[in-house]
Chains A and B, each alone.
Chain A
């Protein structure tokens, strides 16, 4: 009898999905924020990945048997480039990891960032010297060419002298197993 009286109802049901919209929006925002929590916002991706390492020619650390560190040293072999300073506390934490890698035969070079050469030398004499070449970057200009924004940072360079990976902050044993060792093994093939 009252078919027309009910006309409003099916229409309202058809729009029912609109009431779900806030819930869906909330879920979507929740997922995005949860993913954001997982990421470390302070770790910036390097724009230099897969690009050739920048040109540089750094003088040696006086008192160390070395001739300095230049761009040419990066051609022909897989290597790590570590940016360190004696005044940098996380660098001290990281140092045993670099020594371990050097003992295993990995070539590790270093850019000594904004340091007093005497302090840097004392740092290496006390904690050990895992580095093949060390270049002194007293003004921090070479580091800027590498896109460095803090110490320590470590770059993985392939045989062609390209930057393949950047690690920001001290390398923890976990980073060594999860990322660095697999990458070094892949590049060494």
Chain B
């Protein structure tokens, strides 16, 4: 059926888009191990022009330049941490797609856990409030029972709630 085919075509098209390699063959390193490290590092670095893509994903000229710098430095023997430091010195921590835990970012990292804790606390207070109230109400003292009976007998259609 046409609809079934369409349903299949959309994810396949998306897959094809995501699989498209931006890194050109002229950029790739001859050493497959170094190239793999360069690709992995490129995925962690933000393209400053497009901002929500990694330099590994981006076609922007600046992303290409940064990919080249990453490869040059890897060939020269630099570690991943050294290359990241090189870029952070120039572009700030924004260049790292995964921000490090620092005084400026702890809220970002702790945020989801704080929200979950706040939600749990809210649920707990509501559940507790509901489970407590009926017990208090059901236990009537002898005086109250008498008062209630008086009201029920003497009440002429008055609401007694």
Contact = CB atoms under 8 A, between A and B. Distances in A.
Interface of A: 1-2, 4-5, 7-8, 15, 18, 41-42, 44-48, 114, 139-141, 144-147, 149-150
Interface stretch (B15-23, B31-39, B75-83, B89-97): B89-97
Interface of B: 48-49, 51, 61-62, 65-66, 69, 88-92, 94, 125, 129, 133, 136-137, 141, 144, 147
A4 B90 contact: no
Nearest to A147: B90
Contact of B91 (A8, A42, A44, A141): A44
A18 B123 CA distance: 12
Contact of A8 (B48, B66, B69, B136): B136
A49 to B, nearest CB: 10
13 contacts: A2-B147, A7-B136, A8-B133, A8-B137, A44-B94, A45-B92, A46-B92, A47-B91, A114-B61, A139-B65, A140-B62, A141-B65, A147-B92
B49 A15 contact: no
Given A5-B144, A114-B61, A140-B65, A149 B92 contact: no
